[in-house]
Amino acid sequence: MKKTVRDIDVSGRRVLVRCDFNVPMEGGRITDDRRIRESLPTIRYLLERGARVILSSHFGRPKGRPDPAFTLAPVAERIGTLLERSVPLLPDCVGPAVEDAVARMAAGDVVLLENLRFHPEEEANAPGFAARLAALADLFVNDAFGTAHRAHASTVGVAAHLPAVAGLLLEKELAHLGQALDSPVRPFVAILGGKKVSDKIGVIRRLLDRADTLLVGGGMAYTFLRAQGREIGASICEQDSLGLAAALLAEAARRGVGFELPADVVAATAVEAGADHQVVDAAAIPPGWAGVDIGPRTAARFAGIVRGAGTVLWNGPMGVFEIPAFAGGTRAVAEAMADSSAVTVVGGGDTAAAVEAFGLAGRMTHISTGGGASLEFLEGRELPGIAVLQDA
């Protein structure tokens, strides 16, 4: 357990808050503000207690130099709208102009620093840059679960100079993901998708230790099907992971863990909108065709297992859901989870984007704001941005 903002006195103090405002944008307009909305409880908590709140975040990949395409100005405007107050964007994240602006802050004020990644020292975790960031504040609050797996200056370096605690969003992430893994309501069903088995080896091994059933879809399913000797046509397949896939299937059988693979799939002549596609048996994908989604029989089977679960943890879509014709399996799983009385936890990244796109986010117990971070947490790795926080 880590200390949180509830464990410290913030009144009148300068609090540097690391948020994850790396939100999707098109033409300078935010298309999904969920990460901003999820940060509001921590911000409001601090403001209501008279803290001077200094928000910080990265956005995109500006390659270590100022780039107007990656300004946080739209984020500052959106936070201001949600808080119903002005949230000034400072011209940089370090330097005399920033120091002067922070020095003029009164209790209950809030500002946003400009994109941390305008400086190459941020991702390099340069001690001098971390010290300059830390000098702006009296306390450090990490509320950016999405970057907690990165040892950057703003997630790890500043904690060498300031008392460091978790924000309310980070606390919520650890509680929901931790409970799903360590004390789930049973039956515990884990759903895994995405492209590659190799990306999820650690997660699969850990879940074989904890879950009652694994449901596997997405591109990674075809490597498992090929390992069973099935014909998968031109479907994505990691040839160098076939032995590993066979070993994982054998381990699941030995442990008595259900390991469900697709019985039917949607196969297409190309992974693009408008391509010819048909539902085929998962063992008989035609030559030259590629699996792009689980089929209706599999979707119904997976949905039935979800409906009987006590806890469902989902990481990775069932197919190429961005193309409507190939979104049926991912939608079916999302709808089954939304209708379920189980504790439903959605890993971040593409899975969260799918649930948002289907309009079902509000019916899940928890949707993680971290893609890579949630994956590494599920693997059991220590996340550096969490390790540096004070223990409760």
Active site residues: 35, 196, 349, 372
Which residue from 301, 292, 298 is spatially nearest to 234, judged by alpha carbons? 292
* CB contact at 8 A, 145 and 20: yes
Please count the other Cβ atoms lying within 10 Å of the Cβ belonging to residue 209. Answer: 11
Please count the other Cβ atoms lying within 10 Å of the Cβ belonging to residue 291. Answer: 31
- Measured CA to CA, the distance from residue 14 to residue 145 in angstroms comes to 21
Neighbouring residues of 144: CB distance < 8 A, sequence distance ≥ 6: 18, 19, 20, 57, 155, 170, 385
Q: Where are the beta strands (DSSP E) in the chain?
A: 14-18, 25-26, 29-30, 52-56, 110-112, 139-142, 164-166, 188-192, 213-216, 258-260, 264-268, 277-281, 290-294, 311-315, 343-346, 366-367
* CB contact at 8 A, 173 and 371: no
Q: How far is CA 43 from CA 37, 155, 192, in A?
A: 10, 17, 33
**C-alpha angle with apex 365: 36 to 41, nearest 5 degrees?**
35
**C-alpha angle with apex 285: 282 to 287, nearest 5 degrees?**
160
Kindly state the DSSP code that residue 156 receives in the 8-state scheme: T
Which residue from 10, 17, 110 is spatially nearest to 57, judged by alpha carbons? 17
Question: Buried (b) or exposed (e) across 349-363, using 16+ Cβ within 10 A?
Answer: bbbbbbbbbbebbee
Identify residue 44 by its one-letter amino acid code: R
- Whether a cis peptide bond, with omega within 30° of 0, leads into 187 is yes
Match 């498992």 to its residue by tokens: 224
